[in-house]
Amino acid sequence: MSCDRVDRRLEELAAGRLLGAARRAAERHLESCARCRQQLRLARRLAREVAALPRRSEPRRDLWPGVTRRLGPAGPGRRDAMVGGRGPGSAWRLAAGLAVVSAGLVAGWLAGRPAAGPVAVAEPPAAAEAPAAAAASARHEAGMDHAYRDLVVAAAERRDRLDESGTAALEAGLAELERAVAEVGEAATFSPGNLRLELLLAAALRRESEWASRLRQL
Amino acid sequence: MRKITLLFLAATAVAGVAFADRPVDETRPAAANATISIEVISGGVTVTGWARPELSIRGSLGDDVEELRIDGDRDGWTVKVKVPRQAGRRHRDIHANLEVRVPAGASLDVEAVSASVGASGLTGRVELSAVSGDVTLDGGLEEAKLTSISGDVRLKGSAGRVTAEAVSGDIVLEGVGRRVAASTVSGSIELTAGSVERAELESVSGSIDYRGGLAASGSLEVDAHSGNVRLQMPAATSARWSVSTFSGRIDNGFGPPAQRDSRHAPGSSVEFETGAAGGRIEVQTFSGNVTLKQS
């Protein structure tokens, strides 16, 4: 099993849902791949912290109309900051932006609300939940920061491999990913404990991580 | 006098064009299963498999290309178009247009930046990547990995295992064999297959269109964020289906209609079985619509 394939099955592996031959193949790969072992540690940590989050009961009224109003067109904030900078060094800024955005989104979502940025926060988390969630957020942010620092450096070293069109496509692509993560995070705020949203968010974050890895491989 | 001047200018222009490109014609011995790596910044590369135990490179190099480096031995060759370290405005002509022939069973790895890459007639393992150029593979081979960031990725043939990745480019795979994994961000995925054993298709905003069957115990996993998903599969498909969306719509041509999951959120899902339920089909989207249609 290759790194790509292990990456794709990471959520299942971390959750203990990957079974049989696929699990054995993944474990054989992990024995010899430090990078994938690190990714698995991060995924397990994310799963543990998500599981430890407090579950709120369903709201008394239907909040979805408010969510759809807020989702609307994606906000301009960080996306403009990322897409605006073309030319030499933009891959660096792109990767740096990715690092900050990813860490912020995960931390923000783990704290029970969307990260600060283009999507407004409708309701603050309940006061009793805030300290525990903030602590989990800080721990997770530190872990993500460590994982992405390596990618940022690698992306800076390889920015000369990107031409203008490739850089623009990557910037736009990562902005799409950012929007996707923000949308799911926003929806998760209004539908707490929704396993499907948790899986969608994990998938979106995994994609961000994959594309950052691809930057490194250029 | 004016006519003579024009003729002189025309002749100079023709000579300029004629001498702008440097011709390439190189041949090296190569084993039937040799590993061939090619790196190009700009231009185009076409690789064709042939029955001879040789690597052949023909084509042309731009004036500002430093050299065409060919290193290795018959078991493996690395071909690299070397350009000035700072290939900026002063070194515009760094393109290389190469027609390469390699033993049909060779393993091939081509990396390009703003160059199109094509390969055909190969039977081994092929890896083609470009930043902004199109990537095209034709033929029946064992394994293929195709990547482009802004260019399109196309496969026509019967590769046993295929991995295709793009960001804004489209992915079109015709005749995929046993296993396929394809992912894009904003580009679309169109896949035509016979009967796959395992398929994993992912996009963020691009649409995913799958037309094909599923092996008896095969699996098909489709994951899109806002892109629409359309599966067109035989009525006799044998599988356990699990389809869900958070805010999209599910149009189920194989089984019961989807049900809303919660009074307070728009999510809907449906799970059902068809045939002997030997395979597994999972589809999930955030806001993309899902259409399941019998072929």
**Tens place of pLDDT per residue across chain A (218 aa):** 778 888 878 877 887 778 777 888 888 888 888 888 878 877 777 776 666 655 444 444 555 566 555 555 443 333 333 322 323 333 334 444 444 444 443 344 333 333 333 322 233 333 334 333 433 343 344 444 343 444 444 455 555 666 777 777 777 777 787 788 778 877 777 777 777 777 777 777 777 667 666 666 65
Contact A180 B225 (CB under 8 A): yes
* Contact residues on chain B for A218, CB-CB shorter than 8 A: 131
Chain B residues close to A169, C-beta within 8 Å: 132, 149-150, 167-169
d(CA B106, CA B76): 9
Q: What is the pTM of this model?
A: 0.68
Phi-psi region of B127 (alpha: psi -120 to 50; beta: other; left: phi over 0): beta
Entry field: residues in chain A: 218
Q: Do B167 and A169 touch (CB under 8 A)?
A: yes
Closest CA of chain B from A126, distance in Å: 19
Instruction: Give the N- to C-terminal CA distance of chain A in Å, as an integer.
Output: 22
Structure tokens at B138: 């034709």
Q: ipTM, 2 decimals? A: 0.71
Q: Which of the residues B81, B204, B217, B262 would you substitute to probe the A interface, choosing the one with the greatest number of A C-beta atoms within 10 Å? A: B204
The token pair at A23 is: 């699990």
Beta bridge partners of A174: none
